[in-house]
Homo-oligomer: A and B are copies of this chain.
Amino acid sequence: MEKLDKRMEELLQSEGDLTEKQRNILAAATEMFAQKGFAATSTSEIAKRAGVAEGTIFRHYKTKKDLLLSIVSPMMLKMISPFILKDINKVLDQKYERFEDFVRAMIKNRQEFLENNLQVIKVVIQEIPFHPELRDEFIKHVGQKVYQRFLETVQFYQAKGQIADIPPAMVLRYVSSVIIGYFGTKYVLTPEGWDDEKEIDEMIAFLAKGLAPV
């Protein structure tokens, strides 16, 4: 666990000691990958937008794909780090008496993160279907670690009699489907007159009612 934390820290603060030009390259590449997709973006375009010679890109990244991975891989870890870092785990496990409060805390916790990283997350989602290594990495992290951890959480609240006795995997799917639907609606469809507080309250009320024991 110590080693994992260390490796993660490296990746999380990996943009600290970069040159300005290097940061420009990452920013330009992220923008264009998000907009046009990885395959439809040329390295010459990236160089142009970054205000950099094309050779400079390849000084830092062996291939174009290397550039993609150095944008996307750290983000995958960032996405899930709150769920598998031990100090935060303690908080998750013990703080919330009711399942509803736990869900609300999860949403708030990830909302700011989402807003600050919309573009990179867009790239991750868009490119996963085309790059098996990305898919594998995602499944390995989210599937094995986060999924297992949340399964236990569901069972915890089932044992407390707050959630009906349906298979935990189903509970998890319903909850995550509705939450993903919430974020998707908000950030992809961006409807007018959207009241965050009210949406979250109603959503959690719906989930709690649907999952309540008979």
Contact surface of A with B, Cβ cutoff 8 Å? 36-37, 39-40, 122, 126, 129-130, 166-167, 170, 173-174, 176-178, 180-182, 185, 199, 202-203, 206-207, 209-212
Contact = CB atoms under 8 A, between A and B. Distances in A.
Total copies of the chain? 2
A185 B177 CA distance: 10
A203 B174 contact: yes
Contacts of A36: 130
Contacts of A212: 209
A182 B209 CA distance: 20
Contacts of A181: 173-174, 176-177, 180-181
A178 B203 CA distance: 12
A43 to B, nearest CB: 14
Nearest to A212: B209
A100 to B, nearest CB: 13
A178 B174 contact: yes
A207 B178 CA distance: 11
Contacts of A167: 202
15 contacts: A37-B130, A39-B39, A166-B206, A167-B202, A170-B199, A170-B206, A173-B178, A173-B181, A173-B185, A174-B181, A177-B177, A181-B181, A206-B211, A209-B209, A209-B212
Nearest to A36: B130
A181 B180 CA distance: 9
A124 B105 CA distance: 35
A17 to B, nearest CB: 33
Contacts of A203: 170, 174
